[in-house]
Amino acid sequence: MSRIERLGLAILHRMDPERAHGLSLRALRAGLVPLPGPVDLPRLHLTLAGMPLLNPVGLAAGYDKNAQAIGPLSRAGFGFLEVGAATPLPQAGNDRPRLFRLTEDRAVINRFGFNNQGMQAIGARLAARPRGMVPVGLNLGANKTSDNRAADFAAVLAHCGPHVDFATVNVSSPNTEGLRNLQSRTLLADLLTRVMEARLALARPIPVFLKIAPDLSPGELEDIVEVALLARVSGIIATNTTLSREGLKSANRDQAGGLSGAPLFEKSTRLLARLSHLTRGILPLIGVGGVGSAEEAYQKIRAGASAVQLYSAMVYRGISIVPQIATGLDALLARDGYARVSLAVGTGRDAWL
């Protein structure tokens, strides 16, 4: 981490977390953040659901909710980006405060509730975005007051799908009341049917991923896998934030909302390994939850992930953590004799089962 980045993080951590979040986006857009450019190392090249990636380290949804910093984020070392979540109508989200640092635990709790500017504004930015070698996807959401949430997901995909490289069905955020109920077998099947119909109507059908919660029972996970395979989704993202508070030390540990960051790593990786076992390599998986180092990214990959995503680690380590993880992952693959990252996928899964 450079001296400038260390100073910037120190200043941001003196602010309210949500204000600091917004300021970091403005600094990126203004060109005030040094960016390394693409991390392009042959050992890290892969194809994810038909998308060629320079490396398997992606940005998780939630940081750039309104697709305002795609250009600079594409130069930050990520192999792919996910923006959003976007809902059909703009919505303010839940009351503030709704974002909390848990510094002792290297974690974050949020209860944003899909605050975003709506698919019209987000779609316009996506249509105007710079095109390059870093795929950009959109996290799909539903409005809090909607009486037909399945239709909301399909509507966002229909409107924004022509302007993105992939989309994610987010039925696993804990911050919109009742949303996680859509992970139940019957509701999920109906939702994915409608979303996949909207995908087929696009002039250029794109990969559609399903993002799931870490707090699922073994039976619930089995149901989700069966429904996802029948719906022919392109892959599964595991996982979203957790409602668990086990082992936390920070003063904000009892705040309501979804917990992300370091404490989520083990829980999400164990579920990822079970998911890999259930899917038998049929679906590519993206591992999310607690990735803050090259070793942790490598563990996700060896547990069954084809690629990983991160967000909370940047709160504590800055955006320079992205190229550090990618280049560190390359070194770990070389150490263990893997010529391609894809050859390491799932090789350590049994240790997590």
Please identify every stretch of the chain with a pLDDT value under 70, giving residue numbers as ranges.
Answer: none
Quickly count: other Cβ atoms within 10 Å of residue 114's Cβ.
Answer: 24
pTM above 0.85, yes or no: yes
- pLDDT value, residue 3: 85
Quickly count: other Cβ atoms within 10 Å of residue 95's Cβ.
Answer: 8
- pLDDT value, residue 80: 98
- pLDDT value, residue 178: 84
pLDDT tens readout for residues 156-174: 999 999 999 999 999 988 8
CA distances (Å), origin 196, targets 50, 122, 151, 153, 182: 17, 21, 12, 10, 16
- Active site positions, annotated: 173
Give me the domains of the chain, ranges plus CATH numbers.
3-352 (3.20.20.70)
- pLDDT value, residue 172: 85
Tell me which amino acid residue 9 is: L
pLDDT tens readout for residues 228-286: 999 999 999 999 999 999 999 999 999 999 999 999 999 999 999 999 999 999 999 99
Nearest by Cα to 72 from 103, 31, 13: 31
Q: What single-letter DSSP state applies at residue 235?
A: E
DSSP H or E segment with residue 126: helix 118-128
